[in-house]
Amino acid sequence: MSSKIRYTDEPLGNLKVVPDFLPRPEDLVFREEGVKVTIALSKRSVEFFKREARRHNTQYQRMIRRLLDAYAEHHSRPPTARSTRTRAKAGALR
């Protein structure tokens, strides 16, 4: 880049204005509302998550939170025909 750029005042031609399609910066923050809880976990589980978190360069609490979120999401869906039969069968055994 040894040569200097020379700007001229020439017409740019037929330009078209493109509407803004990018999200606002605040829309890029994917934080859900959190609730602080106290929970006692087994030492073995915590050691597992700490070890895996180090391997994947993340926080172990975040891994546990995502696991719980995935579990809750999976089980909050409407039951399928198979899971309904399983629940009915389990209720009959009680």
Q: Is residue 64 part of a domain?
A: yes
CA separation for the pair 72, 91 (Å, rounded):
22
**What pTM was estimated for this model as a whole?**
0.53
pLDDT of residue 30: 73
Q: Is residue 11 part of a domain?
A: no
Q: Is residue 51 part of a domain?
A: yes
Q: Is residue 68 part of a domain?
A: yes
Structural tokens at position 58? 């993340």
Q: Is residue 45 part of a domain?
A: yes
pLDDT of residue 41: 96
Q: Is residue 53 part of a domain?
A: yes
**Domain of residue 71, residue span:** 41-77
Q: What angle do CA 11, 1, 3 make, to 5 degrees?
A: 60
Q: Mean pLDDT by 10-residue block, N- to C-terminus, for the chain (94 residues)?
A: 82 87 77 89 96 94 92 83 54 56
pLDDT of residue 84: 52
Q: Is residue 29 part of a domain?
A: no
Domain count, the chain: 1
3-state helix, strand, coil split of the chain in percent (to 5) is 50, 0, 50
